[in-house]
């Protein structure tokens, strides 16, 4: 199979010899792609992360052969500092959670949208959370954000515990002060309105941001098989 | 085709960068047919280097001593520290003949997907160096790749928290280069870090 001039982003490259590389791309129409590539000569543009490129490849097996690679005629803001760390985080998530060939055009567009808006975002958290949610759905780990595990609608003032393989489980219908002496919810327990805000990707409220971060951390940890994300170490503060 | 020992030698030579089966065969036959004394010298040097060479306790570069000659030298300026990715970068900077401070070699760059985080680069050792009162400036000379930039930013944040001046080597148009052949990203960098003349 031969594919020509497919828009893509490089996620990772590693050298296998002096003149050969294995490159992983997030492509627009073909999801995650691994290919063997020749190391670019001085006249060719080098493989660079977070830059839109167009690529062509050959092959029917999992590892394709890259035949062409050039920068796309689209300008993207250069990622620096914290947004750059966020970019590495997105790349690690894609590589760790997707199988070869997984990923849709909407995920590609969400990745592009995040790269485009990270440099100017006041807080990167909403962008990261939206991307994480879409990625978990695409990777086949979707949970129901509107109903609990018995099929009843999530109520804004009820309290739920997250079961990563099943969904949200109702644990209390009373206000927190009536069933929790120190007024602090038990671990992995969330109020319905935070869950509903996450369901509709509304992250304006600080308490929703905290709940969304904890929910996503818990879901991702259960999907990543106990091996922590290395890119989290880059953040001095607990952004992720 | 060759006896087991010769085949083993050819196979062993192939671990060198850029050496394929043909080049390895040429090298092996050259050593065995024409330069046996040289071959023995090479074998001894390899054995000795593998046995003795380790990391410098101060800058992490490769050396057979506990501290490398650059770190031990009294002539080097201990108030400036240049952070580089690999020992070859130390050699390249030394060849420029314009830097008289000390070095710190990371032995890599931040690359989370490859499992290389701050700990693997020995940044805790760098942090200890930042706490020394003598150190006043850090020059980050990591490569101008995205991973190099991330490493530079991480080190810069560490340095700023410790009130140490931190700078990044310039990148842009190479000497003798022509603008029309330079890619947009490099030119954007060159424009952003232009200086008054």
Give the separation between CA A124 and CA A109, rounded to whole angstroms: 17
Give the predicted TM-score (pTM) of the model: 0.86
| Nearest beta carbon to residue B17 from set A18, A87, A229 | A18
Return the ∠ at Cα A168 (arms to A165 and A171), rounded to 5°: 125
Which residues 38-57 of A are in CB contact (within 8 Å) with B? 45, 48-51
Exposed/middle/buried for residue B61 (C-beta within 10 Å: 0-12, 13-18, 19+)? buried
> How much is the average pLDDT of A179-206?
82
What are the structural domain ranges in chain B?
A: 4-52, 62-196
Structural tokens at position A144: 């129901």
Element (H, E) at A73: none
| Nearest beta carbon to residue B146 from set A14, A50, A234 | A50
Q: What is the pLDDT of residue A236?
A: 61
Which residues of chain B are within 8 Å of residue A91 when distances are taken between CB atoms?
A: 112-113
Q: In sequence order, what DSSP letters do the residues of A152-191 get, joined into one string?
A: PBPPTTSEEEEETTTEEEEEE-S-HHHH-TTS-PPTTEEE
Give the separation between CA A10 and CA A45, rounded to whole angstroms: 13
Q: What is the pLDDT of residue A32?
A: 93
Q: What is the pLDDT of residue A240?
A: 39
> How much is the average pLDDT of A23-33?
94
Which residues of chain A are within 8 Å of residue B147 when distances are taken between CB atoms?
A: 49
Over residues A132-187, the pLDDT tens digits come to 999 988 888 888 888 888 888 888 888 898 888 888 888 877 777 777 767 777 78
Q: Do A79-240 and A2-71 fall under one CATH topology?
A: no
Structural tokens at position A34: 């691994």
- So what CATH class is B4-52? mainly alpha
Superfamily of domain A79-240: Recombination protein O, C-terminal domain (1.20.1440.120)
Which residues of chain A are within 8 Å of residue B115 when distances are taken between CB atoms?
A: 230
How far A82 CA sits from the closest chain B CA (Å)?
A: 8
Give the separation between CA A161 and CA A172, rounded to whole angstroms: 9
What are the structural domain ranges in chain A?
A: 2-71, 79-240
**Rounded to an integer, what is the distance from CA B155 to the centroid of its chain?**
16
Which residues of chain B are within 8 Å of residue A87 when distances are taken between CB atoms?
A: 146
Q: What is the pLDDT of residue A63?
A: 92
Which residues of chain B are within 8 Å of residue A236 when distances are taken between CB atoms?
A: 157
Question: Is domain A2-71 in CATH 3.10.450.40, yes or no?
Answer: no
Element (H, E) at A235: none
Which residues of chain A are within 8 Å of residue B160 when distances are taken between CB atoms?
A: none
Task: Determine contact: A118 vs chain B, CB below 8 A.
Answer: no
Q: Do B62-196 and B4-52 fall under one CATH topology?
A: no
- Complex-level ipTM: 0.82
Task: Determine contact: A9 vs chain B, CB below 8 A.
Answer: no
Chain-chain contact of A51 with B185 (C-beta, under 8 angstroms): yes
Over residues A98-135, the pLDDT tens digits come to 988 888 899 999 999 999 999 998 888 899 999 999 99
Task: Determine contact: A12 vs chain B, CB below 8 A.
Answer: yes
Q: Which of A171, A136, A131 is nearest to A150 (CA)?
A: A171
pLDDT of A226 > 50? The answer is yes
Task: Determine contact: A231 vs chain B, CB below 8 A.
Answer: yes
Instruction: State the 10-residue block means of pLDDT for chain B, 197 residues long.
Output: 92 90 94 93 96 91 92 91 94 92 92 88 88 91 91 91 90 84 79 86
- So what CATH class is B62-196? alpha beta
Which residues 157-196 of B are in CB contact (within 8 Å) with A? 157, 183-185, 188
| Nearest beta carbon to residue B110 from set A11, A18, A234 | A234
Q: What is the pLDDT of residue B189?
A: 81
Q: Which of A224, A213, A219 is nearest to A168 (CA)?
A: A219
Chain-chain contact of B118 with A234 (C-beta, under 8 angstroms): yes
Q: What is the pLDDT of residue B30?
A: 94
């Amino acid at each position: 199979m031969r594919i020509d001039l497919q828009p893509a982003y490089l996620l990772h490259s590693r050298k296998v010899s002096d003149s050969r590389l294995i490159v992983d791309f997030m492509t627009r129409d073909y999801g995650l792609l691994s290919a063997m590539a020749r190391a670019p000569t001085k006249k060719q543009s080098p493989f660079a992360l977070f830059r839109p490129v167009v690529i062509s490849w050959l092959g029917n097996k999992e590892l394709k052969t890259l035949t062409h690679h050039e920068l796309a005629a689209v300008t993207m803001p250069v990622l620096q500092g914290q947004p750059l760390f966020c970019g590495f985080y997105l790349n690690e998530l894609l590589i760790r959670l997707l199988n070869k060939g997984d990923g849709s055009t909407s995920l590609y567009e969400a990745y592009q949208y995040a790269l485009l808006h990270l440099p100017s975002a006041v807080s990167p958290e909403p962008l990261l959370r939206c991307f994480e949610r879409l990625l978990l759905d695409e990777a086949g780990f979707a949970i129901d954000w509107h109903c609990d595990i018995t099929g009843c609608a999530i109520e804004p003032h009820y309290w739920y515990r997250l079961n990563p393989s099943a969904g949200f489980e109702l644990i209390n219908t009373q206000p927190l002060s009536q069933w929790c002496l120190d007024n602090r919810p038990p671990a992995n327990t969330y109020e319905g309105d935070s869950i509903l805000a996450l369901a509709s990707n509304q992250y304006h409220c600080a308490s929703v941001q905290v709940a969304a971060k904890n929910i996503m951390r818990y879901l991702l940890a259960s999907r990543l098989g106990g091996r922590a994300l290395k890119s989290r170490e880059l953040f001095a503060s607990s952004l992720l | 085709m060759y006896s087991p020992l010769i085949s083993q030698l050819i196979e062993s030579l192939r671990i060198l960068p850029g050496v394929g089966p043909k080049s390895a065969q040429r090298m092996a036959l050259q050593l065995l047919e024409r330069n046996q004394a040289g071959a023995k010298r090479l074998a001894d040097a390899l054995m000795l280097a593998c046995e003795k060479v380790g990391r410098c306790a101060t800058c992490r570069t490769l050396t057979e001593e506990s501290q490398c000659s650059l770190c031990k030298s009294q002539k080097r300026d201990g108030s400036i520290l240049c952070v580089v990715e690999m020992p070859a970068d130390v050699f390249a900077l030394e060849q420029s003949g314009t830097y008289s401070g000390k070095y710190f070699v990371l032995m890599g760059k931040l690359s989370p997907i490859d499992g290389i985080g701050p700990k693997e680069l020995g940044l805790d050792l760098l942090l200890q160096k930042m706490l020394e009162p003598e150190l006043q400036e850090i020059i980050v000379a990591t490569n101008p790749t995205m991973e190099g930039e991330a490493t530079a930013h991480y080190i810069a944040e560490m340095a700023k928290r410790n009130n140490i001046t931190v700078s990044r080597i310039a990148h842009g148009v190479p000497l003798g280069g022509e603008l029309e052949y330079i890619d947009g990203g490099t030119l954007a960098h060159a424009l952003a870090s232009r200086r008054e003349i």
